[in-house]
Amino acid sequence: MDRDGQDREDREDERMSTSGSGMVSGSELIGRALALEGVRNVFTIAGDHVLPALDSMADMGFRFVDTRHEQAAAHMADAWGRITGEPGVAMYTTPGFSNAIPGLANAMHSESPLLSISGSAELSELGRGAMQEIDQVGMARPVTKGAWMVTDTRRIPDMIAHALRVAYSGRRGPVHLTIPVDIQQNFVREEEVAFYQPSEYRGIGAAQASQADIEQAVAILRGAKRPLIIAGSAASYARAGEAVQEFIETTRLPLLTEGDARGMVSDEHAYCLGFFDQGLSRTARKIREADVVMMLGRKQDLIIGYAMSPTIPPDAKIIQVDPSEAEIGRNRGVAVGIAGDVEATIRQLTAEASKHSWSELDWISELRAERRAWHEHLESLAAAEVPMHAMFVHRTVMQMLQPDDYLVFDGGDYCHFGRAYLPARMPKSWLYVTPSGMLGHTFPTALAAKLAHPERRVIAFSGDGAFGFNGIEFDTAVRHNLPIVCVLGNDSAWGIDRQIQLGVYGKPVATDLLPTRYDQVVRGLGGHGEVVENPEELHPALERCLKLERPALINVQVQRAVSPRGQAAINRWKSHTLEAF
């Protein structure tokens, strides 16, 4: 017997001899610590260095959702964390951890409370050229809020607690733990181990903003003629949607949402004017006329033109509320800056605002008119042509939507039309590519949504280019019985980049694809696939797929049409300015 085989046999003998003796393994400690956090699902691919943990945790009742690539496992954990508010847990072996790095980078941009756990070779062998050895902690640090190696089995629960405290503090984000295989297999005395309830080390309550700041913010808003409230991802925690809705109903001030804040107040609410994306919403472009901008969990980054001119006028006043003090005034000074929980701060602002009377501003009518004109323009593109315009596809989907449907969008021109047009009606139900711009998250995200709420329909939108990253996860959907519907726009191109190339350089380079039958790929994986080439075929195909209790993809042949976001990118390239998209 080789050394590895003998070691495994010895450890099995040790496990049998310590059963019922007050000893506990590292693998069981991992499971018990995660169970205290309410974790039920783990997104994974099995591999040598996590086999002990998988074995113990399977006996403890955890559900393992095994994907076909670790990047997809990280994307699923990312989406789970944002949709449910619970920690999303991804687990993999050493080379699998390398595959997960793009997913962790994406989770940093999406600000998801994701716990990444990888195994490694034995602690005593690291640094000697051990099996598959890489600097996992060093690799993880640039794409997480923190990364650590567990070097003592007794420390597993408190290091999981510490990692999750970091993940949830301030702006949320992914964290990583490397737990060597021998640390998982070692047995320690149970009395030497301390477990921590989440309430003991995080979530201790939101700090109150000073009354002076609250009063000053309300006074500035009362004096505004053209105010805008922009809610970003960090405003979407807890029940902030209810609080924000009460605030805008009290003050009659206009709200735009982006990131995970989409749907926290429905786009159909009288004072919610839809999507804050200057490339996809004419209403959002009115920020250039605002005299007061209130940023709720919205960074001063590229999306808002770094809060600088011309996106926000130089004489406009900014009120910024953010859970991270470092984000306040990052690129431009603010009139009022409040570091703290957005929900708690908004409730304070509402209490102060309710002491005054508020009239609806003429500015609101301007914004609503701009929104109606934009909607009409988009619908004017939805002619029944062959091949179909992306807007014809999205308008057809719109006619079949239910209020609680999940909508998941990838990047690219085809999906940008849908993001510009389709409404966000419910919290955490309108999910799209993060500011990192990383393609391919759609299928894993859709699967996580279906896993979180199996009673709700999940409709994913992907281009043919994006399909290539994680399309194989339809196999995961079939194996785990997660019936999502993907409406794929196939223009045989990397659409938005091809359009930018044509608009800026006059020729495409490395952006043409084949008219591949992705529907047949999905059928080969055990799902349902259809191809749609004519407008009259689309509605019946959607109807069939939405009624199926089976993962399905509709491969729709669409035009190569430049989206508003694509055109904005072309304009930006040509102008050589740092304007927001």
pLDDT at 13 over 70: no
Contacts of 372 (CB under 8 A, 6+ apart): none
Q: What is the pLDDT of residue 196?
A: 83
Q: What is the pLDDT of residue 8?
A: 46
Looking at 283-397, which runs of residues are DSSP E strands? 292-296, 317-322, 336-339
Name residue, tokens 């004419």: 282
Q: What is the pLDDT of residue 578?
A: 54
In sign, the C-alpha dihedral spanning 365, 368, 374, 377 is: negative
| Whole-number Å distance between alpha carbons of 134 and 136 | 6
3-state secondary structure 92-160: ECHHHHHHHHHHHHHHHHHCCCEEEEEEECCHHHCCCCCCCCCCHHHHHHHHCCEEEECCCHHHHHHHH
Q: What angle do CA 347, 350, 355 make, to 5 degrees?
A: 140
Q: What is the pLDDT of residue 579?
A: 58
Q: Hey, what's the torsion of the CAs at 286, 288, 294, 300, to 10 degrees?
A: 120
The secondary element (H helix, E strand) that includes residue 397 is helix 390-398
Do 22 and 189 meet the contact criterion of CB atoms below 8 Å apart?
Answer: yes
Q: What is the pLDDT of residue 434?
A: 85
3-state secondary structure 359-383: CCCHHHHHHHHHHHHHHHHHHHCCC
Which amino acid is present at 450? K
User: Would you report the helix, strand and coil content of the chain in percent, each value rounded to 5?
Assistant: 45, 15, 35
Mean pLDDT of 412-440: 94
pLDDT at 449 over 80: yes
Do 519 and 534 meet the contact criterion of CB atoms below 8 Å apart?
Answer: no
Name residue, tokens 């969008």: 409
Q: What is the pLDDT of residues 147-202, one digit of tens each?
A: 999 999 999 999 999 999 999 999 999 999 999 999 999 999 999 999 988 887 77
Contacts of 247 (CB under 8 A, 6+ apart): 253, 346, 349, 350, 353
Q: What is the pLDDT of residues 507-531, one digit of tens each?
A: 999 999 999 999 999 999 999 999 9
Mean pLDDT of 461-469: 97
Q: What is the pLDDT of residue 72?
A: 98
* Dihedral pair phi/psi, residue 296, rounded to 5°: -105, 105
pLDDT tier at 203 (50, 70, 90 boundaries)?
A: low
Q: What is the pLDDT of residue 16?
A: 44
Closest CA to 33 of 199, 173, 198: 198
* Dihedral pair phi/psi, residue 319, rounded to 5°: -115, 125
Number of CB atoms found within 10 A of residue 382's CB: 20
Of the two residues 406 and 577, the one the predictor is more confident about is: 406
Do 358 and 350 meet the contact criterion of CB atoms below 8 Å apart?
Answer: no
Q: What is the pLDDT of residue 143?
A: 97
Q: What is the pLDDT of residues 363-389, one digit of tens each?
A: 999 999 999 999 999 999 999 999 999
Map out the domains of the chain with their CATH numbers.
17-201 (3.40.50.970), 211-361 (3.40.50.1220), 381-575 (3.40.50.970)
Q: What angle do CA 92, 98, 100 make, to 5 degrees?
A: 65
Closest CA to 125 of 187, 183, 176, 52: 183
Looking at residue 230, what DSSP letter applies?
E
Looking at residue 21, what DSSP letter applies?
T
Q: What is the pLDDT of residue 580?
A: 57
Please report, for residues 275, 363, 426, the alpha-carbon distance to residue 283 in angstroms, rounded to integers and kept in the order given: 8, 11, 20
Average per-residue pLDDT for the chain: 93
Between helices 495-504 and 564-575, what is the axis angle to 10°?
40
Q: What is the pLDDT of residue 206?
A: 65
pLDDT at 30 over 70: yes
Number of CB atoms found within 10 A of residue 542's CB: 23
Of the two residues 259 and 435, the one the predictor is more confident about is: 259
| Whole-number Å distance between alpha carbons of 144 and 177 | 11
Do 390 and 293 meet the contact criterion of CB atoms below 8 Å apart?
Answer: no
The secondary element (H helix, E strand) that includes residue 274 is strand 272-275
| Whole-number Å distance between alpha carbons of 394 and 407 | 11
DSSP sequence for 426-447: STT-EE---TT--TT-HHHHHH
| Whole-number Å distance between alpha carbons of 354 and 82 | 32
Q: What is the pLDDT of residues 108-119, one digit of tens each?
A: 999 999 999 999
Report the chain's C-alpha Rg in angstroms. 25
* Dihedral pair phi/psi, residue 389, rounded to 5°: -75, 145
pLDDT at 136 over 60: yes
Between the two ends of the chain, the Cα-to-Cα distance in Å is 62
Which amino acid is present at 119? G
Which amino acid is present at 331? N
Beta strands 187-189; 23-25: pairing state? antiparallel
Q: What angle do CA 301, 408, 530 make, to 5 degrees?
A: 145
